[in-house]
Structure 1
Amino acid sequence: MRGSTLPAEQVEQAPPAGAPDRLVAGPPTRPRSAGWSLLGSELRVLFGRRRTWAMLAALALVPVLVAVAVRIEDPGRDGPPFLGSITSNGLFVSLTAMTVSIPLFLPLTVGVVAGDTIAGEASLGTLRYLLVAPAGRLRLLAVKMAGAAAFCLAAATTIALTGALVGAALFPVGPVTLLSGDTVGLGGYAVRLGLLVLYVALSLLGLSAVGLFISTLTTVPVGAMAATVVLAGAAQVLGQLPQLEVIHPWLFSAHWLGFADLLRSPLDLGSLGENALLQLAYLAVFGSLAYGRFTTKDVLS
């Protein structure tokens, strides 16, 4: 019938014109390995882009600049305490660089990756071909979210490792004095640094889910990226307004800088658990919104 449209869930199953009747006998089978194959392909594409490596290189510059600046000019007693700690132990470069990166640099790069997940494919005209493959919309969304989460982990790891390496190269390295006043060896600090990386990667999952949802609303990836980054900044501004204190615990940025408990002895994982629950809630809500939007839209590109 002229003017009729296929339901959204059947768009990817429509056969090409002139295809034999046997091709439309039923939906394509989706082997269990298809999801892992699609995830592997997504990770190869994501980490094969020059843009991704350029963003990771920019993040790696943060600890380098921090360490070089402290090396050139000792902040002494007039500078922030965490900068002064670097001169006595280079391992504090990782912690300092992570603290500096969380409010701006990490949300900026994660917003670019998350905003490009679906809108980027639509802009390139490859989205409908992904749906023709034995993937399905739900599986494709899950793979895109997994790719964004992998970038969050890679970004946090890049800052931590670069900070540790450049700190060890420019400053003395030894046992680390924690915020509680206790001293731990290199092994104990490595465990805490690994937990810090996990904490930061988890902290960015909520923003990634928001970016994934926004990416399903448009075919212009730059718009989705910009909107995600703006929301990251807006959430942090709202978190500083005392008049809106009632909503502070529900902002996805509420626990971004709450990793102090990981740097005390005994180790307290309470803040890590609270942060994980909040980010998973955002993942569930905005993942559902993304699925609802994505499964009801006609994919034409």
Structure 2
Amino acid sequence: MSQAEAVGPVGSGRSRNPLWTFGILRSELTTTLRRWRTLALLGVLAAVPVLIGIAVRIETSDGSPAGSGEGGGPAFLSQVTNNGLFLVFAALSVTLPVFLPMAVGVVAGDSIAGEAGAGTLRYLLVAPAGRTRLLLAKYASTLVFCLVATVVVAASALAVGALLFPVGEVTTISGTQIGFGEGLLRAGLIAVAVAASLIGFAALGLFISTLTGSGIAAMATTVGVLITVQILDSIPQLSGMHPYLFPHYWLSFADLLRDPVYWDDVVKNLGLQGLYAAVFGSAAWARFTAKDITA
């Protein structure tokens, strides 16, 4: 069998050793997390809480309050000077609409198209892995990046918040107080919820990556789709379609800081992300398994 036949739409007939699945996933994770581009993205994400913390520290040096308003989103800034733990929530609310999904869009968009553009995709498919397992490994490594990126933001914010501001009991959005330990648990839960908010967009980026052989084009298209959908979600006249747009419930993680926790929008967000993951994951699989690999 020629090499071209080995990477054709139907794949090869080699045996499928389950250990190959873990080997491919480990290789993909190592490759993704060790790339200089990935490290640079994580560095930028880690710098955002530092800049926010320093800005709030300077702004409040004369005793004036930081931020304004109540509830979620950037209004968390108003609580940072009282409790550094709120820098975690503020940093996540600032990075989630733009910085985090853009970083995920770069990784997801480059996952397949980058390999094709570099001429390494056909050699990956020659190995006894199979297209489905390779695609799953690519998606799984992107999801791991979602979690790692979110944890980097949260950990950086926690360190900066504890260094620049006092920490202690947490006042919830509902006005009640919870202990610092429970506040940390809520912060961890919020970080997981934020990472889970990106699984639908990651699947969309993976699908776009299967449509082209240029990593740059796939990354640009994925980020372009993100910006377009964000704009659509901000137009009041299109409110009827807002609940079906993947970023609509992203900031629902603020409800995890209520007492008791308000789960409705959080569950809607997770369900919507699961739907996007199923639809665009299936589309990516259909495209990738039927695609002729020439590079």
Taking structure 1 as the reference length, what is the TM-score of the superposition?
Answer: 0.90
Q: RMSD value over aligned CA atoms?
A: 1.7
Give the superposition deviation at 1:8.
3.5
* Residues 1:263 and 2:257 are matched in the alignment: yes
Percent identity of equivalent pairs: 49
Once the two structures are superposed, residues 215-257 of structure 1 have per-residue CA deviations (whole angstroms, 9 ceiling, x without a partner) of 0011111111011111111111111112211211110111111
State the AA in 2 paired with 1:97: A
Give the superposition deviation at 1:6.
8.7
Cα separation, 2, equivalents of 1:5 and 1:142: 22
User: Which moves more between the two structures, 187-196 or 76-85?
Assistant: 76-85
Give the superposition deviation at 1:295.
1.3
* Residues 1:142 and 2:130 are matched in the alignment: no
Cα separation, 2, equivalents of 1:111 and 1:249: 21
Correspondences of 1:187-198 after superposition (within 5 Å): 187-198=181-192
Structure 2: tracts of 5 or more residues without a match: 70-75
SS of residue paired to 1:246: coil
Work out whether residues 7 and 122 of structure 2, in 8 Å CA contact, stay in contact via their aligned partners in 1: no
Structure 1: tracts of 5 or more residues without a match: 14-26
Equivalent residue, structure 2, for 1:41:
27
Equivalent residue, structure 2, for 1:51:
37
Taking structure 2 as the reference length, what is the TM-score of the superposition?
Answer: 0.92
Q: How many positions carry a matched residue from both structures?
A: 284
Give the superposition deviation at 1:7.
9.0
SS of residue paired to 1:280: helix
Equivalent residue, structure 1, for 2:68:
80
User: Which moves more between the two structures, 71-80 or 195-204?
Assistant: 71-80
SS of residue paired to 2:81: helix
State the AA in 1 paired with 2:45: L
Work out whether residues 76 and 84 of structure 1, in 8 Å CA contact, stay in contact via their aligned partners in 2: no
Larger Rg: 1
Cα separation, 2, equivalents of 1:95 and 1:51: 26
State the AA in 1 paired with 2:238: L
Correspondences of 1:223-262 after superposition (within 5 Å): 223-262=217-256
Give the superposition deviation at 1:131.
0.7
Say if 1:98 and 1:78 are closer, same or farther in 2 by CA, change over 3 A: closer
Say if 1:129 and 1:7 are closer, same or farther in 2 by CA, change over 3 A: closer
Q: 2:48 aligns with which of 57, 62, 66?
A: 62
Work out whether residues 34 and 135 of structure 1, in 8 Å CA contact, stay in contact via their aligned partners in 2: yes
Runs (4 or more) in structure 1 with deviation over 3 Å come to: 4-8
